[in-house]
Amino acid sequence: MLKKVESSQLKPGMYIHELSCDWMDHPFLRNRFLLANDAEIQRIHAAGIRIVIIDTARGLDADAPTVEQAAAATEVEMQDIAARTVRPARVPLGEELERATRIRRQAADLVKNVMTDARLGKAIEVGPVRPVVQSITESILRNPGALTGLLRIKTKDDYTFLHSVSVCTLLVAFCHARGMDDGIVREAGLGALLHDTGKALVPDAILNKPGPLTDEEFAIIRRHPEDGYNILRRSPDIGEIALDITRHHHERIDGSGYPDKLAGGEIGELPKMAAIVDVYDAITADRCYHKGIPAAAALRKLHEWSKFHFDPALVQAFMRCVGIYPVGTLVLLESGRLGVVVEPHESNLLAPKVNVFFHTRRNVYIRPELVDLSRGFGAGGADKIVSHENPVRWNVDPARFMTPA
């Protein structure tokens, strides 16, 4: 039986089934292992890991909820968060996708050039970066789902560059959703696009290592926020907002982050927001060392981790920004149909528009149909989401159906 326990409950003899954190937040060579001694438990505490999943069939038990019970409790909390208003898109998803595709390519190429310059020891020219941030901002204002949905698709080879573009896109959307000043949004987007510049100094053998990192390699990876800060501050056109995001996007409100071990109010609002979107994008992407999880599942993990690592109010605001079923999410409906979310509802995040394309009970593809879950029977609705699904389970590609026929 799998149980979700707080790390304070751990004892030698328990079997760790999953360390509930992003891989960059823990120094262990594997995610599953038998706790041999108190020293291993102390390493878990030192890494700032507060929640783990244990397998009681392979080790000692604990007085804690099962994974299913914990998930059900989280869903109840998510239902409350869902009953909030979101901003409607200005243009249809299909209309914005073509523009978003060009912006995605342009931004990724720019980040690649920045990384190359940083690796060669050149000063980063901020001038060419600002127009790209502006293009991203304009796309978000037209339809945030287009670019954010496209950026969920990454390969292992282009992850480093597209991750920076994703973080920029998500942070710009997050800032706009919170009604921030346009000038601040632009500077936040600049910092987000450049936040991982320090990774240019990490050897490719470590950055793209297909297996677990050693303690020494892990320490090198954790230097990248400070390295990026030192690289960018040599650029005369860089502002304090971008530098703050670059240096502090791995800080955590309980003080377990890096490089400065800041806690709570010591961390600025924008770095706190950047930390949320950085982890969200990281855990949803396929990388050489782990398989990404669906966006809806990632939001639920962020919600759980917000009890310790992130500002809970900001996590909830981010959920309302992207929707608890973000655009591009594969969902199973009560009717047995699978569909991909193409547009959130303005006031009910549980009732987005969904493009259905597969029937699970008959195990066949069906003619794609746009279903507005906010409408009743006879008005194109009369269905509801039962669960978010992993595309791997059904061997389908939701990206093919992001644009309704």
Q: What are phi and psi of 101, to 5 degrees?
A: -65, -45
In this prediction, residue 82 carries a pLDDT of: 64
Which of 369, 326, 301, 376 is closest to 144 using CA atoms? 326
In this prediction, residue 83 carries a pLDDT of: 59
Q: What are phi and psi of 78, to 5 degrees?
A: -65, -35
In this prediction, residue 76 carries a pLDDT of: 76
Domain 93-322, classified CATH 1.10.3210.10, yes or no: yes
Quickly state the pLDDT bin for 379 (edges 50, 70, 90): very low
Quickly state the pLDDT bin for 87 (edges 50, 70, 90): low
Q: Kindly tell me if the per-residue pLDDT of 368 is higher than 80.
A: yes
In this prediction, residue 193 carries a pLDDT of: 97
85-94, 198-207, 301-310, 392-401 — which is least confidently predicted? 85-94
227-236, 295-304, 364-373, 378-387 — which is least confidently predicted? 378-387
Quickly state the pLDDT bin for 297 (edges 50, 70, 90): confident
What is the arithmetic mean of pLDDT over 353-368?
Answer: 93
- Which residues, other chains included, contact 160 with Cβ-Cβ below 8 Å and sequence gap of 6+? 111, 115, 196, 199, 207
Which of 281, 252, 290, 296 is closest to 389 using CA atoms? 296
Q: Kindly tell me if the per-residue pLDDT of 378 is higher than 60.
A: no
pTM, two decimals, is 0.84
Buried/exposed code over 185-201 (b: 16+ C-beta within 10 A; e: otherwise)? bbbbbbbbbbbbbbbbb
Q: Kindly tell me if the per-residue pLDDT of 376 is higher than 80.
A: no
Q: Kindly tell me if the per-residue pLDDT of 274 is higher than 80.
A: yes
- Give per-residue pLDDT as tens, 170-196: 999 999 999 999 999 999 999 999 999
In this prediction, residue 29 carries a pLDDT of: 63
> Pseudo-torsion of CA 180, 184, 186, 188, nearest 10°?
-100
CA 369 → CA 326, 336, 348, 394, distances in Å? 19, 14, 21, 19
Q: Which two tokens stand for residue 93?
A: 């998803």
87-101, 191-205, 265-279 — which is least confidently predicted? 87-101
Task: Compare 127 and 22 and report the one with higher pLDDT.
Answer: 127
Q: Kindly tell me if the per-residue pLDDT of 346 is higher than 90.
A: no
In this prediction, residue 165 carries a pLDDT of: 95
